[in-house]
Every structure is written in C-alpha cells, then in structure tokens.
C-alpha cells in the first residue's frame, strides 16, 4: 500500500506482531513506546495512520488521540487496549478515532481495518456524538457504508452480558438495520444522515435506528425475503437484480429471529431492536 504507519505501544510483542503484519501488505511502519515519543515523531514526520494503545505511562492513548486531532487533523487513528470500558469507547468516538480494538485481537482484523482506513478515509463529521452516557449512546452518521462498518466495530466492543454467539448475532442484526437505513432510507447519499442510539437497561439492550427516508410498508417489500410466499422463499432475488440492488434481502427475516422484539414506527423509517439480557430472566 506504500503507506507510513506509526505504532504506539509499550508492549514489544504488540510491535512485533503489527510490524510483521503491516509489512506483509507493503506498509512502512515506525514504532514508539510512549505518547511523548509518538508526538515527537508526529511533529517531524507525516503518517498515513496511527495505531495506538490506551494504557501507557505519561500521555495515554486517548490523550494522544486528542493531540493528533489538534496537530494532524485528518490522520486516522486506530485505538487498541486491553482494558476496554464504555467510557473509553465513547471518548474514542468523540475524539474521532477511526476504529477501536480490544486486546487480544486478530492481526488480520487490524490489517483489514487499516486497509479500510487507508483506502476510504473518514470525514471529521462522519460520526457526530449526540449523547455520550454509557447507558445511552446516541450518534448521527453520514449515509456511507464504510461509516456503518466503523460504528458496528465500536458498538461490538461494548459489554453486552450475552454469550459470544448472541453478541455476534446482535452485531449482525444491528449492522443489517444500519445498512438498510443507509441504503434504502438515505439512498447512499453522504449528505444525508442516520440517527442511531444504543440504550442499556437492567434487563435489555435497545438499538434504535432512524433514517431520513420516506419509510416503508411491509406490504410493499417485494425486494425482501420477508415478503415471499412460503412456497417461493427466494422470489425476491429476481426483484433485487432487476432493481440493481446488492445481493441479499434476508435481513429483516433474520433480524426477527435474532431480536426478542423488533418494533417499527408507523412511518416505517425508525426501528427498535430489543434483546433481553440474563437479568431480565431473574
């Protein structure tokens, strides 16, 4: 990729892992073991991306993220940490981090996110924070597919009190809601925006998505599997091909099997996905 990347971490094993992975995809990578050392390098050199740990002596990773946004605005920063908390995730979003990873992580996953950050740089206002409480995170994002993937990555780091399989299912369902809102409600127009909220109750998780579109009726969803007759479960595929839509159309059907409740407003442009946590069963 011919990109310069700065790795900031006080763990030499992390440096070795990332240096090897990044060099495999053609990136030049430099190392810093502290926030102070990273700032010195950033003052003298330009980097296409920064990978930074959070917990470091002196200037920690979130302070470093703030300094980078002040001194090198537009430089994407991927935050990594072994001590993930909702507060750190929220602050990372507010400080315009590109992505957030909990340790231990897969080197392949980080490389994929690095590739996305380098190929499709994020705008400074792609994700706007409306509410930043751990129990109620509300955001507004531009109708861009890559922004949806970034947000799913952030929300996937939040503690959910679910099994690993349930967390994966909820992440899939949330992504489907978000992609539908961006693709069908926002028409993939980056000038339009989608409102998203994550709300945590004692016995439930609620994901709220509101798109800028005119809404829809379940009676007029010929492009979705949910509208198919039982004897012809894939008839929507031809409808999607004729309309030039991406392959798919199974989202709402699958989401209904994942969510404990899936509630749409009358207009059809706002939805609540509700997933009960073990506390609700006590």
- Domain residue ranges of the chain, discontinuous segments joined by +: 1-122, 125-282
pLDDT at 220: 53
The contacts of residue 85 (CB under 8 Å, 6+ apart) are none
pLDDT at 252: 65
Is the pLDDT assigned to residue 231 strictly greater than 80?
Answer: no
Please name which of 126, 135, 255 lies closest in space to residue 194, comparing C-alpha atoms: 126
The contacts of residue 148 (CB under 8 Å, 6+ apart) are 141, 175, 178, 179, 182
The two counts, helices (H) then strands (E), for the chain are 9, 11
Is the pLDDT assigned to residue 281 strictly greater than 50?
Answer: no
pLDDT digits (tens, 9 = 90+) for 179-222: 989 998 999 999 999 999 999 999 999 999 999 998 865 555 55
Q: How far apart are CA 69 and CA 119, in angstroms?
A: 19
Computed on alpha carbons and rounded to an integer, the radius of gyration of the chain in Å comes to: 20
Q: Residue 225: which pLDDT band, with cuts at 50, 70 and 90? A: very low
Q: Which two tokens stand for residue 79?
A: 């935050």
Higher pLDDT, residue 105 or 147: 147
**Model-wide pTM > 0.75:** yes
Q: How many CB atoms lie within 10 A of CB 188?
A: 11
Higher pLDDT, residue 109 or 250: 109
CATH 3.30.450.40 is right for the domain spanning 125-282: no
Q: How far apart are CA 148 and CA 70, in angstroms?
A: 25
Q: How far apart are CA 17 and CA 34, in angstroms?
A: 17
Please name which of 178, 111, 117, 101 lies closest in space to residue 145, comparing C-alpha atoms: 178
List the end-to-end C-alpha distance of the chain, in Å, as a whole number.
52
- What is the rounded average pLDDT for all residues in the chain? 86
- Residues 157-181, mean pLDDT to the nearest whole number: 91
Assign domain 1-122 to its CATH superfamily.
Answer: Response regulator (3.40.50.2300)
> Which segments of the chain does DSSP mark as H helices, in order?
12-24, 35-44, 61-71, 86-94, 107-119, 145-155, 164-180, 236-243, 251-258
Q: How far apart are CA 187 and CA 146, in angstroms?
A: 14
pLDDT at 82: 85
Higher pLDDT, residue 65 or 239: 65
């Amino acid at each position: 990729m011919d990109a310069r990347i700065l790795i900031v971490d006080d763990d030499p094993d992390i440096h070795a892992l990332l240096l090897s992975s990044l060099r495999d995809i053609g990136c030049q990578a430099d190392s810093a073991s502290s926030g102070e050392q990273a700032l010195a390098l950033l003052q003298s050199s330009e980097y296409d991306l920064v990978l930074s740990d959070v917990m470091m002596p002196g200037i920690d990773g979130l302070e470093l993220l703030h300094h980078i946004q002040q001194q090198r605005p537009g430089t994407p920063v991927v935050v990594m940490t072994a001590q993930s908390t909702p507060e750190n995730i929220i602050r990372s979003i507010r400080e315009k981090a590109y992505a957030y990873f909990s340790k231990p992580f897969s080197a392949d996953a980080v490389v994929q996110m690095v590739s996305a950050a380098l190929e499709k740089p994020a705008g400074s206002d792609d994700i706007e924070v409306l509410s930043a409480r751990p129990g109620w995170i509300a955001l507004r994002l531009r109708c861009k597919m890559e922004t949806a993937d970034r947000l799913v990555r952030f929300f996937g780091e939040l503690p959910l009190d679910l099994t690993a399989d349930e967390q994966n299912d909820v992440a899939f369902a949330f992504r489907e809601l978000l992609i539908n809102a961006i693709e069908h409600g926002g028409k993939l127009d980056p000038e339009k925006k989608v409102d998203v909220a994550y709300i945590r109750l004692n016995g439930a998780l609620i994901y709220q998505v509101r798109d800028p579109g005119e809404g829809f009726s379940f009676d007029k969803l010929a492009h979705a599997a949910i509208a198919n007759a039982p004897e012809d479960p894939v008839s929507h595929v031809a409808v999607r091909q004729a309309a030039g839509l991406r392959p798919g159309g199974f989202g709402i059907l699958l989401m209904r099997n994942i969510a404990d409740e899936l509630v749409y407003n009358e207009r059809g442009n706002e939805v609540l996905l509700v997933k009960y946590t073990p506390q609700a069963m006590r």
